[in-house]
């Protein structure tokens, strides 16, 4: 696989293709970032972007993970002491999951976001950005939550982070697209360069195949799940043997194979008794998806295999969480 293909595999959008190809032409030492608000135990949403970060490290890039403590404070997630304790747990989980420590820099937002230059640049963005534009970029509110001024400032800070962390590439889920587009529009007004972006997919709700997987609205899979938890959640997952003819529903079991399992394992073995056809082996996602669609691979066998491989991926992080909590 060439470098450009490695950088862009399993992404939904490349912004822009020309700029990302330029990064791919000489990736060694280039800096790529993802920002995470410290919010608890890592889940598959975090780990999908982490899989992409591992790809980028394999290409020679330096990963910067922003532990966004100021953002979390603005979002009402606790005191700075509480937020930083959570952030340190997240740091340990990312390294346990497989990020290379020598190629990973963890940065607290508070280490630079309270400095005079940064604060003045935030005010410059406030002057140059319309309220409607900032509102379009801010995160969706949950339930009956009322928008506050901090919610509007939040995406402006995210845009500035990309400049202040001295980055060559920004990565985020498709839910971060609006923030990245704001960055590309607004940073040049301050005399800074816009950066290219990679946007990773959002996995569908596990039980319905609709919307997105979310711990706040449905079932999600996290690093603290036991094998028994994984089996229960995966066995309850929506997994039709054929694609939805209307195209309205996704198959979250297939998505987890595509975005979580195959990027980390060279082959996938489905173990079955001889009376059910014996074992099946796959060295790529498309073959597994085709066999599920044709009926050669039963959904129950796909689910059992998925739970096993997910357990192997998250087990080191699960053990790290136990160690932290026992201290």
Give the separation between CA 302 and CA 307, rounded to whole angstroms: 9
| Annotated binding-site residue numbers for ATP | 215
- Per-position DSSP letters for 47-101, written without gaps between them: HHHHHHHHHHHHTTPEEEEEE-HHHHHHTT---HHHHHHHHHHHHHHHHHHT--G
Helix (H) or strand (E) holding 253, with range, is helix 252-256
For 209, half-sphere exposure in the C-beta direction (CA atoms, 13 angstrom radius) is: 15
Lookup result for tokens 């999908």: 48
Picking from 16, 103, 89, the residue whose alpha carbon sits closest to that of residue 55 is 103
Pairing of strands 280-282, 268-270: antiparallel
Helix (H, G, I), strand (E, B) or coil at 208: coil
Helix (H, G, I), strand (E, B) or coil at 1: coil
Phi first, then psi: what are they for 217, rounded to 5°? -125, -10
| Annotated binding-site residue numbers for L-tyrosine | 33, 154, 158, 161, 176
What lies within 8 Å, CB to CB, of 165 at 6+ separation is: 31, 33, 64, 66, 107
| Annotated binding-site residue numbers | 33, 154, 158, 161, 176, 215
Give the neighbor-by-neighbor strand order of the sheet with 31-36: 13-15, 197-200, 169-173, 31-36, 62-67, 104-108
The number of beta carbons lying within 10 Å of the beta carbon of residue 263 is: 16
> What is residue 103's DSSP assignment?
G
Q: What distances in angstroms separate CA 181 from CA 30, 186, 198, 209, one per listed residue? A: 21, 9, 12, 28
| Two structure tokens written together for 169 | 């590439």
């Amino acid at each position: 696989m060439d470098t450009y293909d490695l950088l862009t595999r399993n992404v939904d959008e490349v912004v822009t293709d020309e700029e990302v190809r330029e990064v791919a032409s000489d990736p060694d030492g280039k800096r790529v970032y993802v920002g995470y608000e410290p919010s608890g135990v890592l889940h598959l949403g975090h780990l999908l972007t982490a899989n992409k970060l591992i790809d980028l490290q394999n290409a020679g890039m330096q990963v910067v993970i922003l532990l966004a403590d100021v953002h979390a404070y603005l979002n009402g997630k606790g005191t700075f002491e509480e937020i930083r304790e959570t952030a340190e747990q997240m740091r340990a989980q990312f390294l346990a999951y497989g990020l290379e420590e020598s190629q990973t820099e963890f940065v607290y937002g508070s280490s630079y976001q309270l400095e005079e230059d940064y604060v003045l640049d935030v005010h410059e963005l406030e002057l140059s950005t319309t309220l409607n534009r900032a509102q379009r970029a801010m995160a969706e509110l949950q339930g009956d939550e009322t928008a506050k001024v901090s919610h509007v400032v939040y995406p402006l800070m995210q845009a500035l982070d990309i400049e202040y962390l001295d980055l060559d590439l920004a990565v985020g889920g498709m839910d971060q697209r609006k923030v990245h587009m704001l960055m590309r529009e607004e940073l040049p007004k301050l005399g800074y360069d816009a950066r290219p972006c990679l946007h990773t997919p959002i996995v569908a709700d596990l039980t319905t195949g609709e919307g997105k997987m979310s711990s706040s609205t449905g079932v999600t899979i996290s690093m603290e799940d036991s094998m028994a938890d994984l089996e229960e959640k995966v066995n309850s997952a929506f997994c039709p043997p054929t694609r939805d003819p209307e195209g309205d529903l996704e198959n979250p079991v297939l998505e987890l194979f595509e975005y979580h399992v195959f990027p980390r394992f060279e082959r996938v073995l489905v173990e079955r008794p001889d009376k059910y056809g014996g074992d099946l082996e796959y060295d790529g996602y498309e073959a597994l998806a085709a066999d599920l669609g044709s009926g050669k691979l039963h959904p129950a066998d796909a689910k059992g295999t998925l739970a096993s491989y997910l357990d192997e991926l998250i087990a080191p992080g699960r053990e790290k969480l136990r160690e932290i909590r026992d201290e």
